[in-house]
Amino acid sequence: MSETAEEAGLTRRICTKEGTGMSRNVLKSRGMRWMVTLLVAGVVLALPGSSWLGPGTAQAQAKEFRIGIALSLSGIFSRDATLLKEAYDFWAETVNRQGGIKVKGTGYPIKLIYYDDESSPVKSAQLVERLATADKVDLLQGGFGSSIVFAASAVAEKYKYPYISGAASANPIFERGFKYVFATLNKTFDEVEAAAKVFSLAEPKPKTAAVIGADHLFAKLSAEGFKKFLGEMGIEVVHFEIFPLDLTDYNSLLLKVKRQNPDLLLVGSLFAHSLRVMRAAKEVDYTPKGIAFSYGPTVPDFVKELGKDAEGAIGASEWVAQMPFKDPVFGSAREWREQMLKRWGKEPDYVQAAAAAGAVAQQKAIETLGLAPPLSEKDREAVMEQLHKQEIQTLYGRVKFGADGAVVLKPPIAVQVQGGKLVMVYPTEVGGVRGGTPAYPLKPWKFR
């Protein structure tokens, strides 16, 4: 397999019903109805020079680490999940340029195998099962979003595959007693704390707030977290609402909020929701004194699409590139940021940093154990145990997993769009980086 930076050992395929050569009747007659869903789900794209290795071929050759990823490459989470794919691709490219994963002096390149779960938790679980049982990949990497990860990780646990996500944080993920599930983001309540507590610095002090959230595992918990922290600060929540995940009429939602005229608006969101809330707030001419999201403003396209209207939006985060973190693969947080910017032409998101750190953590566990592909169930169990034991420094900071698989608490931070760039505004100092002053109260839309 070529190890050029362009190809980077990545496998991307398209599988469709039409390409299988099997009719629906044949599938039914063979009792293989379940395969239709998997084949329709498809896998993405194939780079020049890459090839698909069936389980038997891969077992015989054992010249590479085959890593399976069920990811939302279409559907409502696709724009968020694309960020994760960029992080995984760049990690694989970088490691392959360096000669592959080093095992006892031999370098084994990485081949990533993607399946599109179409933003469906059920389909993600099915595809993870296919990766484990049919494709017999060596390892897995996690998908995007807590609802997806909650479902997919249960299957990974069943087949004893370590499953590390850099884009899922809902508390219930870690409350099932699983051993093979890991995450590099803080749990949701911890993750949104700073995006609420930043308003403790506001002058004049806000007295009222509205909290809304999408009907999604992470977004709902984010809304509950916002409500909790506002209560601790003595800020009255005058409107609380969970709205449908596929809501189309955001103007009516924001009009309800506007009638209460709260000082603050805090939103449990994914990227798409953050855009729609901002646009609807402008359309109904509602300008809260402060606005914060559990996810959205850190995505580069947030500022790109909203322009000046993005000014003042606050987002939960856990990382900024200025943090003085060293990394065994990328060199440092700053170097990784510069390399990602060059590779993809945009600033990286903190979720991408978390995903890259998870990939590095699993890579270092394999190298420490000296495990060469193909990996057996016993090998994967050893990787799981090593992930629980090890503590490494990465571009994302220290990665140490607790007994429940969640990362040991990292300081949550809040960032704000100021002058078209993200500025850390809470806390006042973390990881050697000093925070800026929050912009508050926000200017009316017509003056931005």
Q: Specify the DSSP class assigned to residue 195.
A: H
Q: Are 131 and 68 in contact (CB under 8 A)?
A: yes
Query: Is the per-residue pLDDT at 47 higher than 60?
Result: no
- Give the Cα separation of 351 and 277 in Å (integer): 21
* Per-residue model confidence as pLDDT tens digits over 120-163: 999 999 999 999 999 999 999 999 999 999 999 999 999 999 99
Q: Give the domain extent around 375.
A: 10-186+324-400
Residues 165 and 39 in one domain: yes
Residues 59 and 180 in one domain: yes
- Residue 409 pLDDT level (bands cut at 50, 70, 90): confident
- Residue 62 pLDDT level (bands cut at 50, 70, 90): low
> Does any domain span residue 258?
yes
Query: Is the per-residue pLDDT at 374 higher than 70?
Result: yes
Residues 166 and 210 in one domain: no
> Does any domain span residue 4?
no
Regarding predicted confidence, which is higher, 234 or 21?
A: 234
Give me the mean pLDDT over the 48-58 stretch: 36
Which CATH number goes with the domain that contains 219?
3.40.50.2300
Q: What total of structural domains would you count in the chain?
A: 2
Structure confidence at residue 37 (pLDDT): 37
Structure confidence at residue 42 (pLDDT): 37
Regarding predicted confidence, which is higher, 9 or 308?
A: 308
Q: Two tokens at 258? A: 């506007």
Percentage of residues in the chain having pLDDT higher than 70: 86
Query: Is the per-residue pLDDT at 304 higher than 90?
Result: yes
Query: Is the per-residue pLDDT at 40 higher than 60?
Result: no
* 3-state class (DSSP) for residue 11: strand
- Give the Cα separation of 126 and 262 in Å (integer): 44
Regarding predicted confidence, which is higher, 18 or 384?
A: 384
> Does any domain span residue 1?
no
- Give the Cα separation of 398 and 327 in Å (integer): 10
- Give the Cα separation of 187 and 174 in Å (integer): 9
Residues 231 and 247 in one domain: yes
Query: Is the per-residue pLDDT at 38 higher than 50?
Result: no
Query: Is the per-residue pLDDT at 13 higher than 70?
Result: no
Query: Is the per-residue pLDDT at 5 higher than 90?
Result: no
Residues 142 and 93 in one domain: yes
Residues 60 and 114 in one domain: yes
Give me the mean pLDDT over the 242-253 stretch: 96
Query: Is the per-residue pLDDT at 437 higher than 50?
Result: yes
Chain position carrying tokens 């990665």: 399
Query: Is the per-residue pLDDT at 183 higher than 80?
Result: yes
Query: Is the per-residue pLDDT at 218 higher than 90?
Result: yes
How many residues are recorded in the chain? 448
- Give the Cα separation of 327 and 334 in Å (integer): 10
Structure confidence at residue 262 (pLDDT): 98
Find, among 98, 67, 169, 91, the residue nearest to 406 by Cα: 169
> Residues 62, 64, 68, 73: what is their CA dihedral angle, to the nearest 10 degrees?
-140
> Does any domain span residue 406?
no
Residues 140 and 177 in one domain: yes
Residues 295 and 338 in one domain: no
Structure confidence at residue 275 (pLDDT): 97
Residues 28 and 143 in one domain: yes
Residues 169 and 307 in one domain: no
